[in-house]
Amino acid sequence: MEKTTLRRADLAFSVVLVIASIGYMIEAVKIFFNPFGRKWENVPAEALKDTLTRWYESPALLPFLVGALLLACALALFHIARGNGARFDFIGVSRLRALLANREMRSFLIIAALLCAYAFAFIPLSRRYLNVFPRFRGFPFFVATVAYLLAMMLSFGGRKKGHLAVSIIVSISSALAITWTFGTLAQIPLP
């Protein structure tokens, strides 16, 4: 890619990163004042007073600091991109079509869409409808991970004969290994 194209991408990404980091910091502040997610009416005044006096022990301190550092990095990236001549002049129908014709951009959009589908659709739907084995709590996570890995492999894999069978075998075995290693051996609660 050309330097100007990269700087424009930096400019757009810095704006997205600023918005995301501010949202992350807001969620950290919510955790700071209400770490158990209770309704605000049910949070006693004594708990708020204790939170404010012992702020350094809050579970929200690290996420807030990470969000603040992310915001600083995003602002620095914005400043660097603007300093190198990047402008928002790339937002137009013809330029958007050219951007979507770019192979790397299409790959990025597919990966982002599949990750969002995994986090916001596959896992919640699997947890809601496939939580059928009470002794194997990782089953919904396993099914969602198989679906995600299979979708990734089919999106980016070749169209050769036997690719579907290999993709199914690899996604099932990988998801099983991940679920067993983290859920059973390490006793880490799976989403």
Residue 172 pLDDT grade (very low, low, confident, very high; cuts 50, 70, 90): very high
| Dihedral sign for Cα atoms in the order 57, 60, 63, 68 | negative
Is a pLDDT exceeding 60 seen at residue 1? no
How many domains does one find in the chain? 2
Domain's final residue, options 78, 101, 124: 101
User: Of 7-11, 13-17, 125-129, 187-191, which has the strongest mean pLDDT?
Assistant: 13-17
Domain's final residue, options 101, 118, 152: 101
Residue 162 pLDDT grade (very low, low, confident, very high; cuts 50, 70, 90): confident
Average per-residue pLDDT for the chain: 82
Distance CA 164, CA 118 (A): 20
87 and 54, same structural domain?
yes
Mean pLDDT of 103-122: 89
185 and 163, same structural domain?
yes
pTM of the full predicted structure? Answer: 0.58
171 and 183, same structural domain?
yes
106 and 52, same structural domain?
no
94 and 4, same structural domain?
yes
